[in-house]
Amino acid sequence: MTAFTLDVRGVTKRFGDGAAGVEAVRGVSLAVEPGEIVLIMGPSGSGKTTLLSMMGALLRPTTGSIHLDGIEISALSESRLPEIRLRRFGFIFQDFNLLSALTVLENVAIVAELGGVGRRPARAKATALLSDLGLGERLDFLPEKLSGGEKQRVATARALVNDPTLILADEPTANLDSKIGHEIMNLLRRIAKDQGRSVVIVSHDQRIRDVADRVLWLADGRFTDVDAMATDPVCRMSVERDRAVRTERDGETFYFCSRGCREEFLGRLVPSTG
Amino acid sequence: MLLARRNLFRDRTRFLLTVAGVAVSIGLILLLAGYRSGVYRQASAYLDNTPGEVVVAERGIRDFLGTSSALPAGAEEAVRQTPGVERVIPVISQFVIFERHGRKDGFFLVGYDPARGGGPWKLAAGREPAADHELVIDRTAADQHGIAIGDAISVLDRTMTVVGLSDDTTFWAGSIAFARISTLESLLRAPGLRSFLLVTPAAGVTPMALRDRLAHPATEVLLKSEVVANDRKLLARVYDAPIGLMVAIAFLVGVLVVGLVIYTATIERRREYGAIKAIGARNRALYRVVTIQAFIAAAIGAIAGVGLAYGGGAAMMAWRPQFRVDIEPAAIGVVLAASLLMALVAALIPARLVAHLEPAEVFRG
């Protein structure tokens, strides 16, 4: 038995057959410990979403295996997966995906009820969770009446209500402003550290790197050493040092996603140094 | 259940339109069924309200309304002499055209002997005919033609006076009018003519036993219930196909209304359903949400439809009293069941849509 919450071993996902087939994820391995926050970054089309879907038992790998709490979820039959997703995973989506017809309280309680909890205890649990996340005054509000940050906190409460061991978050700060995004990340960190839940986040957002225990870079379906990455000082995008446009100033090397960013960077420097 | 209810009631205008659509559909089905029942009831009104359990007619005549019957001479006397017969009501029936102020119409004229029965069972005004030039006609027909008691109308080559108005005597082909049996013998120039004998068995004799006892090669002897059933079959040939078609169309409209609304509501919430599925809801839980929505809409629409049918039926009978709408409890049961079937059929496509939702889609922006 592994001590890891999540253990991804040599996972590959291929879409289509023959020459037209595409390998979205290639031989990826990853182990996540209890209470650990792993941030997976990478450019669009790098395979982040496919990997997240496989880790969340929403997509079956072509080869390799995925273990959650020692259970090989990639080998389970389709009929068993909803139960696993419901009880062992907490999902946080980029667009929140709250049920628009239900109130804040009902959005959270319904997931507990799906997990077999009775109506009353489900509502009590949801109320406690939401109050803990600062939404005690918003229980009867419909999602449309909430701010982006409040919606994401409701989504977080929904992800936690069945006491999952692993939380999977897909671009959790994408639709939030900087301050609220930071609050949400701190909330996820608190959850991971206080409650010992593992958190895997897929994001483009450089600002949340400092919250993660580990940052992984996915490019072309493979993890790349994060030390081989640099941040474009203009657009803040992560770029591979080997492939990036670069320039040296005062003995320091700067890496850019494009010539445009380099030109802008150099243009900014000229007046200050000239 | 909660999600289904909230999804359904979230857009009130759409919900009300759905209910209205189902109500119109169910109301129309019930109204058509009620009209059909009313037609049948009107058609058997004479036999239902005239004493006698066994009907004796001309050989080969098996219905009361569709054909003329002429019993062989002496048939009435033979029946009267048969042991086990308590009462015999002889009647002559003939569909005739009458004229009033140059306007022609038809009625089913029944000749009867006031001393032996077979006349109007619900006299609304006036009296029964006491002479050969006197007539009782249906009150609704009288209203339509502006005929009052004491007025004269032309029947065949005679002028007759209306002395009474009867109720509950309209039917699908017109109305029933009553005259003395001797009036009919004279009008049809057939002294001694008898069309039907309505026979009541004596105590201790069953109608079936009496029917068998009365069997004769020159006559047709049937239970009254058999004659009523044959009259209904006759009507069914005329009414059931168009009414059945209209009912089927109304049902289809109901299915389409519910189906379309639930389908669009499901499409709108496609992403939400995908999210619940990703979180761990099984397909059957989502089917339940979709189907319950259809059931709620159909059930509320059906209840409103029953009210609509009663209101529509009452309005129709007030506007055109010759049309009778009988909404029977059994028919209400059937349409409520039909509304559930409607919901089930309407939920099929949205449920299929939900079943094919790929939960991983929720991660694709």
Measured between CA atoms, how close is A232 to chain B, in angstroms?
A: 25
Chain A partners of B275 at a C-beta cutoff of 8 Å?
91, 93, 97, 99
Q: Taking Cα atoms as reference points, which of B75, B365, B64, B333 lies closest to residue B222?
A: B64
Q: What pLDDT score was predicted for residue B365? A: 56
User: In this model, does residue A273 exceed pLDDT 50?
Assistant: no
Q: What is the pLDDT of residues A98-152, one digit of tens each?
A: 999 899 999 999 999 998 899 999 999 999 999 988 899 999 999 999 998 899 8
Chain A partners of B10 at a C-beta cutoff of 8 Å?
100-101
| Same domain flag for A81 and A171 | yes
| Same domain flag for B9 and B110 | no
| Same domain flag for B138 and B62 | yes
User: In this model, does residue B9 exceed pLDDT 90?
Assistant: no
Chain A partners of B285 at a C-beta cutoff of 8 Å?
114
Domain interval for residue A251: 232-274
Count of structural domains within chain A: 2
Chain B partners of A170 at a C-beta cutoff of 8 Å?
363
| Same domain flag for A155 and A241 | no
Residue with the bigger pLDDT between B83 and B22: it is: B83
Q: What is the pLDDT of residues A83-102, one digit of tens each?
A: 999 999 999 888 888 999 89
Measured between CA atoms, how close is A257 to chain B, in angstroms?
A: 23
Residue A212 covered by a domain: yes
Please name the member of B2, B10, B279 whose beta carbon is closest to the beta carbon of A86. B279
Backbone angles phi, psi at A50, to 5 degrees: -65, -45
Q: What pLDDT score was predicted for residue B298? A: 85
| Same domain flag for A79 and A113 | yes
| Same domain flag for A219 and A251 | no
Burial-class residue B203 by CB neighbours within 10 Å (0-12, 13-18, 19+): exposed
| Same domain flag for B13 and B152 | no
Chain A partners of B279 at a C-beta cutoff of 8 Å?
85-86, 91, 111, 114, 158
* CB pair distance less than 8 Å for A106 and B2: yes
Average pLDDT of B266-289? 86
Kindly indicate the confidence band of residue A1, based on its pLDDT and cuts at 50, 70 and 90: very low
Task: State whether residue A94 sits within 8 Å of chain B by CB.
Answer: yes
Chain A partners of B14 at a C-beta cutoff of 8 Å?
none
DSSP string, B122-174: SEEEE----STTEEEEEHHHHHHHT--TT-EEEETTEEEEEEEEESS-EETTE
Which residue out of B9, B10, B279, B356 would a mutagenesis test of the A interface target, given it has the greatest number of A Cβ atoms within 10 Å? B279
| Same domain flag for A140 and A273 | no
Residue with the bigger pLDDT between B68 and A159: it is: A159
Chain B residues whose C-beta is within 8 A of a chain A C-beta are 2-3, 6-7, 9-10, 269, 271-272, 274-282, 285, 359-360, 362-365
Count of structural domains within chain B: 2
Q: What pLDDT score was predicted for residue B82? A: 92
Residue with the bigger pLDDT between B281 and B102: it is: B281
User: In this model, does residue B360 exceed pLDDT 80?
Assistant: no
User: In this model, does residue B42 exceed pLDDT 90?
Assistant: no
Residue B176 covered by a domain: yes
| Same domain flag for B20 and B80 | no
| Same domain flag for A40 and A172 | yes
A83: three-class secondary structure by DSSP = helix
Which residue out of A84, A91, A162, A167 would a mutagenesis test of the B interface target, given it has the greatest number of B Cβ atoms within 10 Å? A91
Spatial contact of A135 and A157, defined as CB atoms under 8 Å apart: yes
Residue with the bigger pLDDT between B273 and A131: it is: A131
* CB pair distance less than 8 Å for A114 and B360: no
Domain interval for residue B299: 2-43+234-363
| Same domain flag for B34 and B122 | no
Q: Which amino acid is located at A242 in the chain?
A: D
Q: What pLDDT score was predicted for residue A271? A: 56
Q: What is the pLDDT of residues A41-56, one digit of tens each?
A: 888 888 998 999 999 9
Kindly indicate the confidence band of residue B217, based on its pLDDT and cuts at 50, 70 and 90: confident
Q: What is the pLDDT of residues A229-244, one digit of tens each?
A: 788 888 877 777 877 8
Q: Which two tokens stand for residue A17?
A: 């057959």
Task: State whether residue A36 sits within 8 Å of chain B by CB.
Answer: no
Spatial contact of A40 and A28, defined as CB atoms under 8 Å apart: no
Question: What is the pTM assigned to this prediction?
Answer: 0.70
Residue B229 covered by a domain: no
